[in-house]
Amino acid sequence: MQTPSWLLTQSAAHAHRIITETFVAGGARGYHFRLLATLVEFGPASQAALGRHTGIDRSDVVAALNELAADGYVERSPDPADGRRNIITLTASGRRHHKRLAALVSRAQDEIFAPLSPADRARLTTLLGRLVAYHQTS
C-alpha cells in the first residue's frame, strides 16, 4: 500500500518512536519540551495560554508543569492581574534544560530524516506545513 496517507501514518509512527526514545534518554517527555520551547519563544504565560500554544490538554499541562517545577525548570507565581491564575516563568536551569532537549531533538530529526537531502527536508517541511494549516482552518 503506497497511498500518501498510509505512508504519512507509517512515517509518523517511526518519528514518534524515535522522538519518544530520545526524550526518555534525556530524562524528559515531549510535553516538557513543548512547554519549555513555548516559554522560550513567548516568555512567561498562564497555564491556559501554554495549553493553547502547545495543543496540550489543560490537565496534562498542569501535570507536566508540576514535574518541571519540581525539577526547578519553571516557577509559578500569581498573576497580578488575576489572582485566580498562575504565571509560569522559565528559570535559568529550565533554559539550559531546553537547550539540552533541543540538541536531542535536532539529533532525532537527523535520524528520522537521514535518507533525505537538506532540500528534500525543506520541501517536505513546506508540504506538511501546508497540510497542517489547511486542516486547522477547515
Asked if residue 79 has pLDDT above 80, the reply is: yes
What is the separation of C-alpha 114 from the centre of its chain, rounded to a whole number of angstroms? 21
Asked if residue 1 has pLDDT above 80, the reply is: no
Q: Which amino acid is at 49?
A: A
53, with CB counted inside 10 A (0-12, 13-18, 19+), is middle
Specify the CATH class of 4-137 in words.
mainly alpha
* pTM for the full predicted model: 0.85
Asked if residue 97 has pLDDT above 90, the reply is: yes
Percent of the chain, pLDDT > 70? Answer: 99
- For the chain, the straight-line distance linking the first and the last C-alpha, in angstroms and rounded, comes to 27
Cα distances (Å, whole numbers) of residue 59 to 15, 31, 48, 100, 132 = 25, 12, 10, 26, 24
Asked if residue 81 has pLDDT above 90, the reply is: no
